[in-house]
Amino acid sequence: MNIVVLDGYTENPGDLNWDGFEKLGSLTVYDRTPENLVPQRLDGVEAAIVNKTRLPRKTLEACPDLRYIGLLSTGYDVIDMAAAREKGLIVTNVPTYGTAAVGQFAIALLLEIANRVGHHGQAVKEGRWAAGPDWCFWDYPLLELAGKTLGVIGFGRIGRTTGRIARALSMRVLAYDAYPDDDGGQIGAYVSLDELLAASDVIALHCVLTPETRGIINRDSIARMKDGVIIINNSRGPLIVEQDLADALNSGKVRAAGLDVVSREPIEENNPLLRARNCIITPHISWASLECRQRIMDTAVNNLDAFLRGAPVNTV
């Protein structure tokens, strides 16, 4: 089988290997592939391995030999699934690889807002502590999280992981989810969305992006939040109306935001959050630990192996 990885760099910048795929067929790996070159690179190829390279209908129709698409991710919005099904293509993804890491990162964003460790560490290196008249200094208000309320919108595996860590920090946890259950209730108290917005000191987004959740953080929902609320999002950028959040940050209605995702990625220079007050933005790296990427690699190899054995798994 001819196997092509269209955009391998993000998954494997050099600290992993592609040996598992090489055992399954003739492998070619491209770090990145412009969309106009995809048909050429998939000419005669039966299995395409992709992360974020788009495979629209016109591209799939230009690749008659393609039988299998293996995603190096959970989301599959880069693929025209209707066209894939019409062509009889098997598409697989990698579920649940980053639960611990993404929950950890959500709390890391919150802790950075609360303590500004990176900022103050850099200030020390710049000589500001040494030059000061006092034995210590800080130039951001510091925040103790114990006793504060964390509201989690979307209380699946990742949301619950974030909730467990928050409870270890002595925070109270509220949860809003379309499918509450007893296990989740052991971690956080299920409430309505309005209750969560009104009662939370910190709001963390861990919901999937659907027509119902797109723009769930907007001018109206922010108005129903506490003054000085903190917003954390390392789920999906379009959950937030970015201009509305920027306005709320600049007015002080929202104390701070910690974001690992934005509506268009890489972030565009005119994104209003780049100039908003107290907004920490990281470049979509919640998922990118070595451990997570190794799990992605192992699962993606297993997915292709299962397909070749006639028993596909993790199909979408």
The residues carrying an active-site annotation are 236, 265, 284
Q: Is 280 helix (H, G, I), strand (E, B) or coil?
A: strand
Strands (E), the chain: 2-5, 26-29, 47-50, 68-71, 90-92, 149-153, 172-176, 189-190, 202-205, 229-233, 254-259, 279-281
Q: What value does the CA radius of gyration of the chain take, rounded to a whole number of Å?
A: 22
CA distance 17 to 14: 7
Omega cis (within 30) before 266: yes
CA distance 210 to 22: 37
Q: Are 30 and 7 in contact (CB under 8 A)?
A: yes
Q: Are 255 and 230 in contact (CB under 8 A)?
A: yes
CA distance 291 to 299: 12
How deeply is 141 buried, as exposed, middle or buried, from its count of CB atoms within 10 A (0-12, 13-18, 19+)? exposed
CA torsion 179-180-182-188 (nearest 10°) is 140
